Amino acid sequence: MLGLGTIARGIGEVRRDLSAVHARDPAARGVASAEIVTSWPGVQALLAHRVAHGLHGMGVPFVPRSLSMVSRALTGIEIHPAACIGHGFFIDHGSGVVIGETARIGDDVTLYQGVTLGGTGFATGKRHPTLEDNVTVGAGAKLLGAITVGHGAKIGANTVVIHDVPPNTTVVGNPGHPVRVDGRRPEGPDTDWVHLPDPIADAINALSARIGELERDVAALSGQERAPGDGRVLRPVQGPSPAGG
Ligand SMILES: CC(C)(COP(=O)(O)OP(=O)(O)OC[C@H]1O[C@@H](n2cnc3c(N)ncnc32)[C@H](O)[C@@H]1OP(=O)(O)O)[C@@H](O)C(=O)NCCC(=O)NCCS
């Protein structure tokens, strides 16, 4: 049942969520807390989730999902009532955010619009990401599967992450790859993580080379002297190492 302790804890959580907005959203500087509650969709979705999650934990049927659905309709942010979210969570702008059932989010995490913390298929059990404390996830990033993003990690806008991310690492691109570890470029031998093998580009380059050969054969057989167009290499298979740059 709702006791005074629960209410006090709830008020404390709301205070910390609101101070996260003041600290991390430059647009919120000087804006009163009441205005933030009424105008910031990320805050509204989080408050609705805190209630839905509490009711879900008490085993209340129907209401938690309905709350989550109404919140989604109003804010464009879908958070499963079972998802565990720590203190000081902030979703900036909000629209298009999806947080799956078994996602776990630590303290002081920031997400931007269009972020998905999703599963990769029809697996059951733990199938959504775990984000440790102080993680930031840029707009449009997709984090898929039961991966762990270490504390203080940054995920770049539009990055696709399907593997664990070490703490204090910046990951960008698709597939997501580290470009900073503890604020420095990855160093040392065999750490060319930026120029990852690209099997699709390799296959297209191989096809392009075969078409070039066929064009040459056809030109030779038909007595033409037409120079076949060279297939353009899509990207170098092995780029310069970023180590020590
Ligand atoms: C990933 C991010 C956090 C990196 O910030 P940072 O720690 O200052 O790192 P840098 O800007 O030095 O970038 C590191 C490298 O990643 C590259 N990079 C940065 N963001 C990238 C992205 N989203 N996609 C691809 N590459 C990116 C940079 O070009 C740089 O490459 P280099 O090492 O070859 O020079 C930031 O660029 C980002 O994407 N933030 C999300 C912001 C957002 O979503 N805003 C929405 C507001 S509405």
Expressed in angstroms and rounded, the spacing between residue 171 Cα and the centre of ligand 1 is 8
Q: Are 102 and 125 in contact (CB under 8 A)?
A: yes
Give me the helix-helix angle, 63-75 and 41-57, nearest 10°: 170
Ligand 1, CB within 6 Å, residue ranges = 93, 112, 138-139, 154, 156-158, 170, 172-173, 179-180
From 134, 168, 172, the mutation candidate for ligand 1 (largest count of ligand atoms within 8 A of CB) is: 172
Provide CATH 2.160.10.10 ranges for the chain. 4-181
- The per-residue pLDDT for range 55-75, each reduced to its tens digit, is 999 999 999 999 999 999 999
End-to-end Cα separation, the chain, in angstroms: 59
Determine which residue's CA is closest to atom 38 belonging to ligand 1: 156
- Rounded to whole angstroms, the Cα distance separating 139 from 13 reads 25
Expressed in angstroms and rounded, the spacing between residue 141 Cα and the centre of ligand 1 is 12
Instruction: Check: pTM over 0.85? Answer yes or no.
Output: no
From 112, 116, 159, 170, the mutation candidate for ligand 1 (largest count of ligand atoms within 8 A of CB) is: 170
- Which ligand 1 atom lies nearest to the CA of residue 138? 44
State residue 184's pLDDT score: 87
Largest CA distance in the chain: 93
Expressed in angstroms and rounded, the spacing between residue 2 Cα and the centre of ligand 1 is 44
Per-residue confidence in pLDDT tens, the chain, 245 aa: 567 887 888 888 889 999 999 999 999 999 999 999 999 999 999 999 999 999 999 999 999 999 999 999 999 999 999 999 999 999 999 999 999 999 999 999 999 999 999 999 888 899 999 999 999 999 999 999 999 999 999 999 999 999 999 999 999 999 999 999 988 888 765 555 566 677 888 899 899 999 999 998 998 888 876 665 555 655 554 444 433 32
Expressed in angstroms and rounded, the spacing between residue 156 Cα and the centre of ligand 1 is 5
- Which ligand 1 atom lies nearest to the CA of residue 139? 44
Determine which residue's CA is closest to atom 31 belonging to ligand 1: 179
Provide, rounded to the nearest whole percent, the portion of the chain with pLDDT above 90.
Answer: 70
- The per-residue pLDDT for range 191-205, each reduced to its tens digit, is 555 666 778 888 998
| Burial profile 137-165: b = 16 or more Cβ within 10 angstroms, e = fewer | bbbbbbbbbbbbbbbbbbbbeebbbeeeb
Domain 4-181 has CATH 2.160.10.10: yes
